[in-house]
Amino acid sequence: MKAVTLYTDGACSGNPGPGGWGAVLIYKSKRLEMSGYDPATTNNRMELMAAIQGLSALKEPCQVDLYSDSSYLVNAFEKHWLTNWQKRGWLKADKKPVENQDLWQTLLTLSMKHQIHWHKVKGHSDNVENNRCDQLATGEIKQKRKAESLD
């Protein structure tokens, strides 16, 4: 099984508002940078989308070290929030529906294909790859705003 490293980040200008996601996938000496945009979203949705897109780019089952500055994303797996949400019929402990259920379900399906080790990193710090993902995500927002101002 191939061992890959995936860094992810999401960003939103306003929350909700226009958002972007960025991912950097590294396998040996190969590197793939990806990013995308959503005109009306939330920061949490973009964090999840970055992980979904990064994992979706893998063509076969892999061992994945996934690094994110999103506690929301990492804790859902590491602290078994997802397991508990599913047991309660996608309700949180306060009996309110889990937000972003569509993306969580997609992420769960993808996570079953791979062996993923989730790593929480400090955002906007000294992690070069996390900072690159942030640049990709915020760059998408800036690019779309610039294009819209030219219309």
Catalytic positions are 9-10, 47, 69, 124, 134
Q: Which positions ≥6 away from 123 have C-beta within 8 Å?
A: 9, 69, 130, 134
Find the distance separating the first CA and the last CA of the chain, reported in whole Å: 48
Place of tokens 């949490």: 44
Q: Most distant CA pair in the chain: distance in Å?
A: 49
Task: For residue 86, give Cα distances in angstroms to 2, 29, 77, 101, 108.
Answer: 30, 38, 12, 10, 11
Of the CA atoms within 13 Å of residue 105, those in its CB half-sphere come to 8
Token pair in block for residue 47 = 């964090």
